[in-house]
Amino acid sequence: MSDSETPQNLETMQQDAQQVVRAAEEAMRTKVPGQMVAALQECDRVLKTLPAEPMNAETKAPDPTAPLAAERALVWLWRGRLLVLADKPDAVMQGLHSLDQAIARLKLAKADEGVKNSLALAWMNRGSGLFRLGSREALAEAVRSYDQAIAAMELRTGVDVNMLGAAWMNRGVGLMHLEEPNETKESLAARLGDAAKALDKAVALLEPAAAGGHPAARRNLASVWSNLGMLRARLQDAAGAREAHGRGVELFRSLAAEGGAAEVFDLAARVFNLGQACTAAGDADAALAAAREAMELAEGVHLGEPQVIELALRARHAVCVVLGGRLAAGQALAEDPSRKALLAEAGDLVEDGLAALKDREELPEGVAQTAARLYEFGAWLYRTQQPQFLGEFLLEHLDEGEVRAQIAAAAVKSARQALVQRGFNETMHGGMDRVLGMMQDLAAVEARLKERGAEVKA
């Protein structure tokens, strides 16, 4: 025994490692960045100061009976848990390596309840880290990790129902997105069927816990229903998707009422998905109500983050699409007294949404794409419903990007063709000045596009 491995020193190291694990647990609970960084640094320090790890002479594996073996495994576990939450792939990979180190040691340890729980936790976090990497290979390995977590938990005497439900949910979500190369219709159906079974299992586990007031189970159950909604939509089950999204929304409402901006954003996203499901189910009134609510919720978050802005724009565009459908069909909603009100609302939604983005120097890709869709709707709206305002709209919201230039060019081309087709009839009835004014506005758009190198092809 070396001087560093005397009973007194080993006891001090054991207490030090246990204290570091408790600090890591607290950092994970609070998610305070400074605490998490400090806890990670402490994990690194302990791993460096622990004595050399003895190996089994035959298997070359770590000796689970060696002094500090349990503490070493737990420090590896918590180091991995902290790292897989990082935004950088390199850090996530380090976290996965740490979790692999923990798993290798926990699998060899005496399988008491604490070891089983730690092993399940390690597999769960390994799956979470692999999810974050995003590749197909990582996703396949994530599903395997959740299978291992489920197996470890089902061996326990007192299973954590919320954690087990979360594992089944994550397994189902992984299977939903795990597209196989050259996948056949049969293999796709089998994969999605397995995903549905996993999500149904999660519901069965989480519903009693959520009903009993378990807050984490309520959140997980809400997420399960939202994922079931997306899965059922993929399976062309419009009614089932709407039902699932509706259940998820109701659960998220209670979470948002008790939480802050992040919970409100989660609710907005789920309400938006419910609106899409209502559209697929053919209920335009419900789709419109959901899109309006999602837009109001997202715009009320005031976080200024790209995903919040994008969701608010997507919801705004969804409202416009429903209103545009009513305008195109010549119908009016019961709450709208006239077609003029429909036009005014749709126009304001487009104009206000695009105007709010003008002061931003560069839009994130997702926001720019969604804004372009809103610009495209506005071009359709003015071209088909109020052509006298088309040129003004196109110029006012024409940014420096290529996408909006293409939209403007297509709108000008279509508007010119429509004017040529009906222009003679309008001039015979006193509309000459109106037609000339529209032609001049379109010419101004063409000139702007040519300045930027874009071209309106006849």
| Separation of alpha carbons 292 and 277, rounded Å | 14
Mean pLDDT by 10 residues, the chain (458 residues): 65 92 94 94 94 82 87 96 94 97 93 90 97 93 97 84 96 93 90 97 96 92 97 95 97 92 94 97 96 96 86 97 90 61 94 90 89 96 92 90 92 88 53 76 90 65
| Separation of alpha carbons 98 and 266, rounded Å | 31
pLDDT of residue 332: 52
| Separation of alpha carbons 311 and 305, rounded Å | 10
Decide: residue 179, CB within 10 A, 0-12 exposed, 13-18 middle, 19+ buried. Answer: exposed
Q: What is the pTM of this model?
A: 0.86
Decide: helix, strand or coil at residue 62: strand
Question: Looking up tokens 């100061």, which residue turns up?
Answer: 49
pLDDT of residue 427: 47
pLDDT of residue 422: 67
pLDDT of residue 358: 86
pLDDT of residue 128: 96
